[in-house]
Amino acid sequence: MAWTRDPGARAIKQLVEHTAQRPVVDLTPGSTMTGLVLGSTDESTTVIDLASQTIVRWRIPWPVGIETDLARFDVVEGVLAEDIERTDLAQPESVTLADLPRRLGTYHGRRVRKWLYALSTPADGPLFGFRGPSAPYWEFRGERPSVALIAADRGPQLLRRLDDGSTWVRFGWFGDDVWLVCEDRHAIRTMEATRRTSLAGKELATSLGFRPAYVLTTLSNPIDGHCYKSCTGLLPRG
């Protein structure tokens, strides 16, 4: 009923549910892409392209000193650059935007639950095809995605290291005990606000404001020649 009370929410619902569908992502330079944000850092924003229900990573030209203000399930519109830079073999889903994207609103519900379930990463060996926190950039061949949407077997659990103040996500996935540095701003602020060193289960759900059902994981740009795994989003079911 909230849709009927809020004209803005109605407009977003109409936009999302009536976007013209296509089998693949339109990567025409200068074209407009509308996406649903799954996670956003200053380095990369991961969205579901509404037209193809495909995961895409946006390189956004944030001005110096300006941090991303995009949050999970924001509906955003971005214009692809004339050179979308599709040559990064470590991040085959990445494209470059010409300018900052436009935030249109937010969207939740059954359709999102369906998309997340369909896009969750199946068991196919270790996360991103290699064990450990990183792999040399020169080993990537563009054959594997740089985004994995994980439905954890155990957890997730948030942990805060007192020695450096970093926040980590721990979860189980097909027998592996995975630890990733957390770049989800909401999760980091949650740990800072609670002043706890560990959050899991009901306490984590209460602190976040939702029960985390998925862990969005991505590969970083090369750092000293290596690409690192990280958590860029904790997501509810929809």
Query: What confidence score (pLDDT) does residue 8 get?
Result: 84
Q: Which residues pair with 185 in a beta bridge?
A: none
Mean pLDDT of 214-223: 97
What pLDDT does 183 receive?
97
At 123, is the pLDDT very low, low, confident or very high (cuts 50, 70, 90)?
Answer: confident
Where residue 124 falls among pLDDT bands split at 50, 70, 90?
confident
Whole-number average pLDDT of the chain: 95
- The whole-number pLDDT of residue 1 equals 43
What is the rounded average pLDDT of the residues 212-230?
A: 97
Average pLDDT over residues 29-39: 98
Q: What is the pLDDT of residue 155?
A: 93
Structural domains present in the chain: 2-107 (2.40.50.140), 113-235 (no CATH)
The residue type of 235 is L
Question: What would the mean pLDDT of 214-235 be, rounded to a whole number?
Answer: 98
Q: Taking residues 74-94, what's their average pLDDT?
A: 97
Of the candidates 185, 175, 176, which has an alpha carbon nearest to the alpha carbon of residue 216?
A: 185
CB 103 within 8 A of CB 53: no
Model confidence at 3, pLDDT cuts 50, 70, 90, reads: very low
Give the Cα separation of 204 and 207 in Å (integer): 5
